[in-house]
């Protein structure tokens, strides 16, 4: 799973996307205020997929999903689906090709959607760099583009800035690479390479101001770091656990804050919040909820009433838990409940 899988749709309803065997499932709120949810329903038709999913969402609220499927023996191709409204059926999976024209899977893709609603699919290629496939504004796809890079690791982090331009972060041995579009619709260009040791699979990027995005990662000493290109990275606090952190912008007691969440080493969800882009203010973890399986994922969103919602999902057990912020000062959370 790559990208935020708990999303607020165009109609204001929350939905979750999850892998189940060779399919992607979706569940959606039936109404606001933590009411009942729909039963899981299959996304994109009956094609059999690999257990891989990338999710991206545009300003229009549409969700873009990308996975791999087998094509011939020993070979695979990427497929894409658009989900316009959570309570409607998504488009059928449509083949979009392979970064090397043919071959087996090359890595887990990442998806970002620009201000014009065009999905941008990033994936490693067999040369160890990154390739891009972007939608045309009036339908169809541009040709595959090689963005270069060397020894790029799993866990690409694609993000759309508040400008509507697409950016990408990728880890390679001893470095974080950063690509950015200089103009809408342009090929993202490698802008900067930060020399730092990154634990693979820990990148998460978030738009944090009109001019900047911030990438979070765990360094080799175990610190959770925040970096905005053009500045020096900041060690924010020790990572709560080994996986990727989830992050969302939200308002807490009238302040623009960034909320982080991660499955902690103790097995619970740890939360930390601080004023957005003000890492010097410090942050600390507070744990919540029950003990979770080792493979549990965490995702954060803001509902139609601008309240923070958190979800955890265990791929091995299918367990899906949800909580939301109480209507009171601070970050008091409701009791976790299963869906």
pLDDT digit string (tens) for 154-181?
999 999 999 999 999 999 999 999 999 9
pLDDT for the residue numbered 331: 87
Tokens of 70: 């087998």
Dihedral over alpha carbons 151, 152, 154, 160 (to 10 degrees): 180
Q: Calculate Rg over the CA atoms of the chain.
A: 19
pLDDT digit string (tens) for 101-133?
999 999 999 999 999 999 999 999 999 999 999
Q: Is residue 213 scored above 70 in pLDDT?
A: yes
pLDDT for the residue numbered 34: 63
Alpha helices, DSSP H, located in 258-320 = none
Task: Mark residue 306 as left, alpha or beta (left: phi above 0; alpha: psi -120 to 50; beta: remaining).
Answer: left
Q: How confident is the model at residue 33 (pLDDT cuts 50, 70, 90)?
A: low
Q: Give the span between the Cα atoms of 317 and 321, in whole angstroms.
A: 12
Q: How confident is the model at residue 138 (pLDDT cuts 50, 70, 90)?
A: confident
Q: Hey, is 280 helix, strand or coil?
A: helix
Dihedral over alpha carbons 72, 79, 296, 196 (to 10 degrees): 100
Q: Is residue 31 scored above 90 in pLDDT?
A: no
Determine how β-strand 76-83 pairs with β-strand 63-70: antiparallel
| Count of beta carbons in the 10 Å neighbourhood of residue 4 | 21
Task: Find the largest Cα–Cα distance for the chain.
Answer: 57
pLDDT for the residue numbered 170: 98
Q: Is residue 32 scored above 70 in pLDDT?
A: no
Query: For residue 338, what are the β-bridge partners?
Result: 321
pLDDT digit string (tens) for 184-204?
989 999 999 999 999 999 999
pLDDT for the residue numbered 271: 98
pLDDT for the residue numbered 167: 98
Query: For residue 27, what are the β-bridge partners?
Result: 16
Query: Domain 136-239's class?
Result: mainly beta
């Amino acid at each position: 799973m790559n990208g935020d899988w708990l999303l607020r749709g165009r109609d204001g309803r929350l939905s979750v996307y999850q892998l189940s065997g060779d399919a992607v499932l979706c569940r959606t709120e039936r109404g606001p205020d933590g009411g009942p949810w729909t039963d899981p329903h299959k996304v994109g038709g009956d094609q059999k997929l690999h257990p891989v999913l990338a999710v991206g969402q545009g300003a229009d609220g549409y969700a873009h999903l990308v996975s791999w499927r087998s094509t011939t023996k020993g070979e695979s191709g990427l497929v894409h689906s658009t989900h316009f409204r959570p309570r409607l059926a998504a488009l059928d999976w449509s083949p979009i090709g392979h970064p090397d024209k043919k071959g087996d899977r090359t890595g887990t893709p990442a998806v970002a959607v620009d201000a014009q609603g065009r999905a941008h699919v990033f994936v490693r290629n067999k040369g160890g760099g990154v390739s891009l496939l972007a939608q045309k504004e009036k339908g169809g796809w541009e040709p595959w583009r090689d963005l270069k890079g060397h020894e790029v690791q799993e866990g690409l982090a694609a993000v759309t800035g508040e400008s509507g331009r697409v950016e990408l972060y990728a880890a390679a041995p001893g470095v974080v690479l950063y690509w950015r579009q200089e103009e809408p619709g342009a090929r993202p260009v490698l802008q900067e390479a930060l020399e730092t040791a990154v634990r693979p699979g820990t990148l998460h990027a978030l738009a944090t101001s009109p001019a900047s995005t911030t990438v979070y990662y765990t360094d080799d000493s175990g610190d959770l770091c925040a970096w905005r290109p053009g500045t020096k990275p900041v060690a924010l606090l020790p990572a709560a656990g080994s996986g990727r952190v989830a992050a969302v912008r939200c308002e807490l007691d009238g302040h623009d804050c960034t909320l982080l969440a991660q499955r902690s080493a103790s097995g619970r969800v740890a939360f930390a919040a601080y004023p957005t882009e003000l890492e010097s203010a410090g942050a600390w973890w507070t744990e919540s909820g029950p003990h979770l399986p080792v493979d549990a994922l965490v995702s954060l969103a803001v509902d139609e009433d601008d309240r923070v919602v958190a979800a955890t999902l265990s791929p091995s057990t299918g367990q899906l838990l949800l909580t939301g912020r109480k209507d009171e000062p601070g970050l008091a959370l409701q009791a976790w409940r299963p869906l």
